[in-house]
């Protein structure tokens, strides 16, 4: 038992010495300073990127090009591009897969793509207006086919729409009664 207790006590860290507390505070201070320095560098990098994007968009606005395509970038950088484009009054859209080839394309207001074109671009396809028109016609046909219900299509009528609301048993009983009356009328004659 004493061996177990002794091994546990030996494996534990010794309490810090009086000078160790000062060393830990100094180490903590250095780490905080490093963290602040890294945060400042990151902030400066983002500001530099933002200025670069602003310059590119200013040049784009003055050019004849219908769109400005940015390279693949992280989500934070894309949000900066979207923000700058919004301030400039230009529509911007992201395309591609996250962490693979996601990028931003900024358009001039006159050349904004249609919803169908945007959908095709988001799927990674080339937009062809003729194919889009054909696809829309096919979707309209599918929708029309789904709307047609089998009841109307095959002539079935729901029981709620029928005039005769009797159950089968009632109907059979009525038929038997009519037959019985007929046979009585024939025998009475």
Q: The domain that contains 97 carries what CATH number? A: 3.30.1370.50
User: What range does the domain containing 111 cover?
Assistant: 32-138
Judge whether residue 90 has pLDDT over 90.
yes
Q: Please report whether residue 98 resides in a domain.
A: yes
User: Which of 5-14, 67-76, 164-173 has the weakest average pLDDT?
Assistant: 5-14
How many domains does one find in the chain? 1
- Pick 4 or 78 by higher pLDDT: 78
State residue 16's pLDDT score. Answer: 61
Do 82 and 98 touch, CB atoms closer than 8 A? no
Determine, yes or no, domain membership for 163: no
Query: Does the structure show a pLDDT above 80 at 156?
Result: no
| HSE toward the beta carbon, residue 98, CA cutoff 13 A | 2
Asked whether residue 122 is assigned to any structural domain, the reply reads yes
Are the C-beta atoms of residues 111 and 93 closer than 8 Å to each other?
Answer: no
Decide if 18 is inside a domain.
no
Angle of helix 115-122 versus helix 129-147 axis, rounded to 10: 100
Asked if the structure places residue 51 within a domain, the reply is yes
* Predicted pLDDT of residue 61: 92
Calculate mean pLDDT across residues 42-52.
Answer: 95
User: Is the per-residue pLDDT at 59 higher than 90?
Assistant: yes
Which run of H or of E encompasses 105?
strand 103-107
More confidently predicted of 23 and 61: 61
- Average pLDDT, stretch 164-176? 85
pTM of the model: 0.58
């Amino acid at each position: 038992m004493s061996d177990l207790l002794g091994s546990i006590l030996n494996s534990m860290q010794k309490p810090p010495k009086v000078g160790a507390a000062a060393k830990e505070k100094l180490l903590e201070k250095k780490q905080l300073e490093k963290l602040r320095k890294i945060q400042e560098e990151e902030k400066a990098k983002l500001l530099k990127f933002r200025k670069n994007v602003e310059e590119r968009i200013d040049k784009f606005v003055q050019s004849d090009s219908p769109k400005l395509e940015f390279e693949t970038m992280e989500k934070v950088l894309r949000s900066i591009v979207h923000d700058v484009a919004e301030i400039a009054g230009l529509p911007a859209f992201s395309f591609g897969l996250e962490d693979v080839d996601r990028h931003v394309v900024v358009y001039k207001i006159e050349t904004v793509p249609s919803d169908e074109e945007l959908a095709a671009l988001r799927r990674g396809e080339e937009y062809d207006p003729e194919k889009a028109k054909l696809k829309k016609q096919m979707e309209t046909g599918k929708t029309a086919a789904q709307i047609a219900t089998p009841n109307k299509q095959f002539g079935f009528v729901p029981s709620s729409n029928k005039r005769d609301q009797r159950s089968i048993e009632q109907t059979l009983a009525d038929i038997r009664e009519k037959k019985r009356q007929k046979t009585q009328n024939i025998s009475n004659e």
